[in-house]
Amino acid sequence: MLWQTLETATVELGWSFYGPVLIFVILCALGVPVWAAIGACAAALIWWSGAVPMSLLGESLFSGIDAFALTAVPLFILTGDVLVRTGLSRKFLDVAEALTCWGRGGFGSATVLVCGMFSAISGSDAAGAAAVGRMTIARLVESGYPRPYACALVAAGACTGILIPPSIAYIIIGLVLGISASTLFLAALIPGILILVSILVTNTVVNLRHGYEGGGNLSMRAWLTQLGRALASGWYAFLVPGIIFYGIFSGRLTPTEAGATAVVVTIGLGFILGTLRLSDFPSMLVSSAKVNGVILPIIAFSLPLAQALAIMGVPQGFVGAVTSLTENPALLILLMIGILIAAGCVMETTPNIVILAPLLKPLADNIGMNDLQFCVMMITALGVGFITPPLGLNLFVVSGITGESILRIAGRAVPFVFFMLLVVLLIAYVPAVSTMLFPAVHR
């Protein structure tokens, strides 16, 4: 029924619309890089529809990435690489383990916490899954966790990479929709923490049910002693997230300035500790450049595609098609969540944001959803898609570094998906979750 309605709404677009979409699907199915598939789709759409002069495509590509806010993206990516090279990410793990060793499932909870710490700095879920997975999965197995569950735990914790600010995803959606990244970071703070708590609760419940990991026998004195030792030996690692969070949320630093400061501080700590050498820089910069080289072309090609779709009236047609089926806000929200989770399963965050944000934003406006609430709901739902079986991106990342079967990991990820989805629904139906730090926010 929905497909028939959408087809009726876009039938007058004809081949100029369906042709580029078909090209995109075929190229993705053939394994062509997403940025190339999006670029071919954008060029075909502009050529056949005439929505934008073809001569302006090159200018659109440049103007799409000619934004000061995007400078923060490579800086946060580089910060994550430096954290791994200098060993500071392991200090996060030591402190997280000391914090959680008093309860059952202590190291599992520590793994989730260090995922949140690392991902909040690097802003990338895939990077967090790879870095934290290499540090923790073997130890999780030694602690009594089955390997598939250990992989699912890391994959779920790494979802916080785009959910806990500062996040590359919020920088990009802010650029697309014209909203300050700093404002979005503040709006996403509480929802991001709720997602982290939901993963911790899920791990605790599963661990209590199956008895994977013991613990919880430390006295208060022994726990404080262990925590004090961990903080004494690794307190300096927290200078990096401290500078980022204080700088951004106090308004003293823009996200770009915070990213630059974090890079300098992390490199400085590496030299002081003797864990970073000049010879490490070439490989470190190449690694960061490869990740950045995937993200920016996607943004460059996606923006002219989104502009052409807007000129052709596709978002308005989509809204009309959907609202012709139902005008119930609750059902429309469920539809948007379903679309976002499905998209998060099969494609990375950046193309999903640039393509779907302009498409779904009018629908959110139509039901009276606040801009901040919409952005947080969208990013959080996409994050859930990263571990939604059987195609979640993070599932493939941890499978790649461990050799564990995707299907076995996916089966163990189901409880995490369930509890994270509850948080998504809370964000979607309770605006205050995203706007409680903005008492003056009005539509």
Residues 232-291: tens digit of each pLDDT:
777 887 888 888 888 887 878 888 888 888 889 889 988 888 888 888 888 888 877 877
Residues 135-144: tens digit of each pLDDT:
788 888 888 8
Structure tokens at 157: 């914790």
**Element counts in the chain: helices (H) and strands (E):** 23, 0
Q: Decide: 155 and 384 in contact? Cβ < 8 Å.
A: no
Asked if residue 390 has a cis previous peptide bond (ω within 30° of 0), the answer is yes
> Cα 342 to the chain's mean position, in Å?
15
Rounded to the nearest 10 degrees, what angle do helices 220-234 and 88-100 cross at? 170
Residues 105-134: tens digit of each pLDDT:
677 888 888 887 776 666 666 666 777 777
Residues 289-321: tens digit of each pLDDT:
877 777 778 778 877 777 777 777 777 777 777
Structure tokens at 98: 């000391």
**Interior angle at CA 272, CA 266 and CA 278, nearest 5:** 75
Exposed/middle/buried for residue 90 (C-beta within 10 Å: 0-12, 13-18, 19+): middle
SS3 of 215, please?
strand
Torsional sign, CA 145, 149, 151, 152: negative
Q: Is 214 left (phi over 0), alpha (psi -120 to 50) or beta?
A: beta
pLDDT for the residue 376:
93
Residues 359-398: tens digit of each pLDDT:
888 888 888 888 999 999 999 998 888 887 666 777 877 8
- Whole-number Å distance between alpha carbons of 91 and 130: 17
Single-letter residue type at 377: M
Closest CA to 377 of 422, 331, 428, 335: 428
Radius of gyration of the chain (CA): 22
